[in-house]
Chain A
Amino acid sequence: ETGVTQSPTHLIKTRGQQVTLRCSSQSGHNTVSWYQQALGQGPQFIFQYYREEENGRGNFPPRFSGLQFPNYSSELNVNALELDDSALYLCASSLEDSFSYEQYFGPGTRLTVT
Chain B
Amino acid sequence: SQKIEQNSEALNIQEGKTATLTCNYTNYSPAYLQWYRQDPGRGPVFLLLIRENEKEKRKERLKVTFDTTLKQSLFHITASQPADSATYLCGGSGTYKYIFGTGTRLKVLA
Contact = CB atoms under 8 A, between A and B. Distances in A.
Given A105-B43, A107-B43, A108-B43, A100 B32 contact: yes
Contact of B102 (A40, A58, A90, A99): A40
Interface residues of A, number: 28
A102 B49 contact: yes
B43 A99 contact: no
Interface residues of B, number: 26
Interface SS majority for chain B: strand
* Interchain residue pairs A-B with the least CB separation, the first 5: A105-B43, A56-B96, A42-B100, A99-B93, A102-B46
Interface of B: 4, 6, 31-32, 34, 36, 41-46, 49, 51, 89, 91, 93-94, 96-103
Interface of A: 4, 33, 35, 40-45, 48, 55-58, 88, 90, 92, 98-108
